[in-house]
Chain A
Amino acid sequence: MELTYSNVCPSDCRASCRIKTKVRNGKIVGIKGDPLDEYTKTLCVKGYAQLNKVYAPDRIVHPMKQNGKGTGRWEQISWEQALTEIAKKLIAVKKRNNNLFPVCLNKYLGNMGLLSKSIEGFFNSIGFITKMVGSPCVATGVSALNLSFGKCKKPFPEDMLNADLIIIWGGNPAWTTTHQMRYIFEAREKGAKLVVIDPVLTATAARSDFYIQIKPGRDLELALGIAKVLLDEDLIDRDFLIGYSNGWSEFKALLEKVDLAQIEAITDISVVEIRNLARLIGNSKPMTIWLGAGVQHTATGGLAFRVISALSAMTGNIGVSGGNIHYATFEAWEFAGEFASIKPAGTTTSTENKGEVHGHRYIGTGRFAELMFLEPPIDFLWVAYHNPVAQAPDSNAVKKALDSIETVVVADQFLTSTAELADYFLPVASHYEYEDIVVSYWHYGAAINQKAIEPLGESRSDFEIMRELAIKLNKLSPGFSSFPVKRLASDWLNLEMEPQYPRLGIADYHELIDHYRRVDLAEVPWQDKKFMTPSGKYEFPLELALGNNDLYVGETGIYPFRLLRTRNFATHNSQYRVSVCMKGLSEKTRVLLHPEIANLIGVEEGMKVKIYNQLNEIVLPASLSKSMPTDIVVVYLGCEFEQEFEFNSIIALVDTDLGEEYADGKGLAFNDTYVNLVRA
């Protein structure tokens, strides 16, 4: 018998595609895009390959214990043994220290389902621990836009259709947000122009009307140059500036001091072309800007976001259809608070207050080296939905930290490079194997994951793992966890979704099976021009003072090539790296460089190049590309990898300039890594 189920991809991706899953005799036999999905309709290259990922031969479906981290001496154990031993470790930590700060949770974005919050919920239920929080990415961008607008809001993705000029700055939607390209092409057919600003000629840039090859990390300066021209040539919207902004006169005074010749020298874009771009921006209405992750992964990314968004403000493109900034908003998630509001047993804080009790010790995400110097030290680490050895900067520092921790538990589907350093591996069910809900942060669609098949082998959802662990803990040490173990997954989903039902126009989340529903945010934000800043106005970035050291910073690297790590069409961070499902499609990890550079170091296509800096050296095959600038090399993140070393072992941990306003720490400037090359 063949049955069809509704599913949704839970990746940290703008699309959150709805999926129609065909199941025959308990096995998935087909996955397709769901035509009900008003935004995506079809899946992406990774979406269609998910079938192979679910049944991949390298997926681990039994609990395992490793006798010695990194030894590869894994033995299959029962859930009973795994949970009992892990529970005893937690109980011992508390007994030894009288608190649970030596317990650390590193949960990240491998699954955006609501039930994944049960992991935080569980750890909230046992006491105050050490949590790795924040974001290497959106911390910078959201903080920047919060400072300018008071809140990070964005239009519906379809509002791009109404634009006359679309600027994609530091992003490559052709590979990361393929569905959006449909709207971009449609807007162009109606006459809109597409500008792409990027250090490399990406798949998106190659299809643009106007491509600006900016020097990496110089977004802030280019934006200042454009703003200067807008001011000089009177291409500004006085009504907006006088009525709805704050700090314009100071920002204007700053712009008057900007020297375009200096901007040309810094950005490598001629004054003539800066003027051309500024005139295009000033004379096209409405104009919209897509702010990409490339900008926020640089040391001045936060300020760059603020000045780029100031271009929209100066030209009166805020609060109008076809205008605004397309970046991200988390307004569609401003409801899910049930798991977060679980309080540790015995906490006296009023239960009236939703939200997390702030008693935890917080460490910024990615900063694993810091774990080794804490007092009390970390004895127990739980890693969920994350592969920090592959994803965080300075892989060797991450490995060292994992090695120093007595007990490391990794819950995952594959034996990732982080799991290789674990003591316990807990097999997590795929999103086809338990019920859950995903709400898109891009098009705000809410979609359900029905349980289409039984969990493979002994794998379990994270929710089941956490619930069973709470039961086990309380059995061994009554009252250890306040996790409400009697509540079923469906009860939790209902609790989390209840405040959301009126916003979705449904009465029960199962209605999502047959209906596309979108959280009722405004199609166009800021139409009333009432900003959520303390002044109620749009805030120009006043911390900028031209000529001081924050601006015009010199190159920080002592190595001659800037290394950019970008996403490949077939990868999603490291999520498809260990699985064979992309075999033959996602190329092996290579280093992209200009033929002149290859010639200089004496390598040809496919030959091995040693890439080194102060952190490490790695060897990758060369891939020559005429479109690469001569001072940049690019490595695609998360491609097939056979080498013993980690690519991120040469990625430096560099803070961005903003982050605390949104997260508890600064973002990470992955793109501020410099290297040298020699023939290997």
Chain B
Amino acid sequence: MLRKQLGFLFDTNRCLGCRTCITACAEEKGLPIGVYLRNVELHELRKGAQIIKYYLSTACNHCSNPECFRLCPEHALRKRRDGIVLLNEERCTGCGICVRGCPFKGVAMNTLTGKAVKCDLCQEKLDEKKLPVCVAACPVEALRLIDISEVESRNLDIVRRLPGVAKIQITRPAIRYLPLRYGKQVLRL
């Protein structure tokens, strides 16, 4: 059996781009104003006459092979047995190498403490069998918590990348997507 790897399953067909996940997380973590652990990006691309438009919400992808882990000179990062990548604030000196080095913008600088800060998948909540805050706060269940290895073994209809998003697989990010669907568009004559 594959090793457990918790991560996100993201449904682009549901995400509203409403950013509730971002502020719900910031509120839970008590982050200073303007510091967020999640990021929502708009993607717009043309496909023939149609316009594909969707939002992508990402935080730390809890990679199997985390770049932050490799870069941190203080060895402040570690990976739990369930795959969660954790940052030890006591070891962090705030050098910002991980903030700049993460290919997913998954690490932020906490302006209050001067140290790096990142998503910990709400590990304390998980230990209490509760959902991470972003997952619970999403009004349309666009974000789900999954065990990547378990989901992949079940061969569900999920994909590793979305149209218009750079393919970065070297760190083996623990995020999967439901394939993007789009309806018929009648654009103006």
A-side residues, CB < 8 A to B, are 29-31, 33, 42-49, 51-52, 56, 174-175, 178-179, 181-182, 185, 194, 201, 203-204, 206-215, 264, 268-270, 273, 569-570, 580-581, 583-585, 625-627, 629
Instruction: Tell me how far the C-beta of A351 lies from the nearest C-beta in chain B, rounded to whole angstroms.
Output: 47
Q: Does B136 contact A (CB under 8 A)?
A: yes
Do the beta carbons of B183 and A629 come within 8 Å of each other?
A: no
Interface centre among B140, B141, B189 (most CB of A within 10 A): B140
Do the beta carbons of A208 and B183 come within 8 Å of each other?
A: yes
Interface centre among B17, B53, B186 (most CB of A within 10 A): B186
A residues within 8 A CB of B189?
264, 268-270
Q: Does B187 contact A (CB under 8 A)?
A: yes
| Closest chain A residue to B46, Cβ basis | A626
Do the beta carbons of A48 and B20 come within 8 Å of each other?
A: yes
Do the beta carbons of A42 and B137 come within 8 Å of each other?
A: yes
A214 to B189, CA, bound (A): 10
A209 to B186, CA, bound (A): 11
Instruction: Tell me how far the C-beta of A419 lies from the nearest C-beta in chain B, rounded to whole angstroms.
Output: 21
For the complex with contacts A45-B22, A269-B186, 4 further pairs of A-B residues with Cβ separation under 8 Å are A47-B23, A581-B33, A585-B34, A626-B46
B residues within 8 A CB of A273?
186
Do the beta carbons of A213 and B53 come within 8 Å of each other?
A: no
Do the beta carbons of A585 and B19 come within 8 Å of each other?
A: yes
Do the beta carbons of B139 and A182 come within 8 Å of each other?
A: yes
B residues within 8 A CB of A204?
16
How many residues of B are counted as interface, with CB atoms below 8 angstroms from the partner's CB atoms?
Answer: 39
Do the beta carbons of B137 and A49 come within 8 Å of each other?
A: no
A residues within 8 A CB of B182?
206
Do the beta carbons of B183 and A42 come within 8 Å of each other?
A: no
Do the beta carbons of B188 and A268 come within 8 Å of each other?
A: yes
A residues within 8 A CB of B28?
30
16 examples of A-B residue contacts, CB within 8 angstroms:
A42-B136, A44-B20, A45-B18, A45-B23, A48-B27, A52-B33, A175-B16, A204-B16, A211-B186, A268-B189, A580-B34, A584-B35, A584-B36, A585-B19, A626-B44, A629-B188
Q: Does B184 contact A (CB under 8 A)?
A: yes
B residues within 8 A CB of A585?
19, 22-23, 34, 36
A77 to B34, CA, bound (A): 32
B residues within 8 A CB of A174?
16-18
CB within 8 A of A181: which of B23, B46, B139? B139
CB within 8 A of A31: which of B27, B44, B136, B183? B27
CB within 8 A of A185: which of B24, B140, B186? B140
A56 to B16, CA, bound (A): 27
A174 to B138, CA, bound (A): 12
A180 to B54, CA, bound (A): 19
A residues within 8 A CB of B138?
42
Q: Does B86 contact A (CB under 8 A)?
A: no
| Closest chain A residue to B16, Cβ basis | A174
Instruction: Tell me how far the C-beta of B85 lies from the nearest C-beta in chain A, rounded to whole angstroms.
Output: 23
A585 to B108, CA, bound (A): 14
